[in-house]
Amino acid sequence: MSELIEHSRTPLLLTERKRVSVANNAAREILGEHMLGQDVRVAFRHPDAVALLDQSSSGTATVRGLVRRLDIWQINYKRLDANLGVIELVNQTAEADISRAHTDFVANASHELRTPLASVIGYIETLSDEDADYTPETRGRFFATVLSEARRLQSLISDLMSLSQVEAEKHDRPTGVIRLKELVEGASIDAAGPDRQHRLLIECHEDSTIVGEARQIEQVIRNLVDNALKYSGINETVVVSLDRAPSGDARLRVTDYGEGIAPEHIPHLTRRFYRTDPGRSRASGGTGLGLAIVKHIVERHKGRLDIDSEVGKGTVFTVRFPASEKAVDDVS
């Protein structure tokens, strides 16, 4: 029995007269080598597990905090006869985390959609009131607000669709070879638009090539440049640079000289809908999804995203992509 179950990834134990007689490697890793020969109730040391193993019949129990404080395990206990029993441990922590993440995402998305939609409905209802006598200036302000909120809805839905597509493709490795210099220059200028181009400084020191999907790399550049322009001063310059890191990777850096980001916020910036300043983000048209999209695209391309910031001095977003060994002439 020991040889049969030793290499199973599922933790399995065999008990004899309430003592652990056999435990495979997976079970020993989570409960410890010392449990062999111990009373099974002492080995588990959890009230719910002890209650299950104390009963005279087979059964199942879900136990929280068996190994770590927040983990969740399903314990399946099968009585073979009066003396022998088999215990199977099934880790359900990851499933619970995924379920919680999905629930949080739906709740956050619903909230983000509801806010501008409520504003649009409210202003339309106000404008449709036949008894109200509004001046042309007032109506103009109302219509401008409706248009702004409608565009915010459009941006949010577009980013939600982009994030969904990126996550669906995250296990599909890109196969195209793309030239970065031209892409960086074009996407940066497009992200800035005619009103902000004067604030943009592009420094492409060499024409690196990477294996990737041009559409998604362009989205990374657009999101980072737009983000930097939004959150730095209206007269501050944003620097976009492309060079080669000492490791040989293609390195894209987007630097702004804005207010900077406090250290406690940096680990959370790529979470969906996370904002350091919700009011300012919404006012500037941000959806809270841009950096989450960047993270997923970078991961799909086997790259790396680093964020360095100092309050009062600005922020640097650095993306590294593995450089392609193919010649530039082979770029499709």
Contact 88, 10 (CB under 8 A): yes
At residue 228, the pLDDT reads: 92
> Looking at per-residue confidence, does 288 or 225 come out higher?
225
Contact 231, 192 (CB under 8 A): no
Q: Strand 12-16 and strand 200-204: pairing?
A: unpaired
Number of separate helices (H) and strands (E) present in the chain: 10, 12
Q: pLDDT digit string (tens) for 292-307?
A: 999 999 999 999 999 9
pLDDT band at 192 (very low <50, low <70, confident <90, very high): very high
Q: Is residue 225 pLDDT above 90, yes or no?
A: yes
DSSP 48-76: HHHHHHHSSS-EEEEEESSSSTT-EEEEE
Is residue 250 helix, strand or coil? Answer: strand
Q: pLDDT digit string (tens) for 104-124?
A: 777 778 888 888 899 899 999
At residue 251, the pLDDT reads: 94
Choosing among 1.10.1660.10, 3.30.450.20, 3.40.50.1820, 2.40.110.20, the CATH entry for 2-91 is 3.30.450.20
CATH-assigned architecture of domain 94-168: Orthogonal Bundle (1.10)
- Strand partners for 206: none
- Cα 233 versus chain centre, distance: 28
Question: Rounded to whole angstroms, how far apart are CA atoms 66 and 53?
Answer: 14
Question: Rounded to whole angstroms, how far apart are CA atoms 40 and 318?
Answer: 52
pLDDT band at 91 (very low <50, low <70, confident <90, very high): very high
Token representation of residue 173: 């490795």
CATH-assigned architecture of domain 173-332: 2-Layer Sandwich (3.30)
Rounded-to-10 torsion of CA 188, 194, 195, 200: 30
Every domain of the chain and the residues it spans: 2-91, 94-168, 173-332
At residue 283, the pLDDT reads: 58
Q: pLDDT digit string (tens) for 228-268?
A: 998 887 888 999 999 999 888 999 999 999 888 999 999 98
- The mean pLDDT of the chain is 87
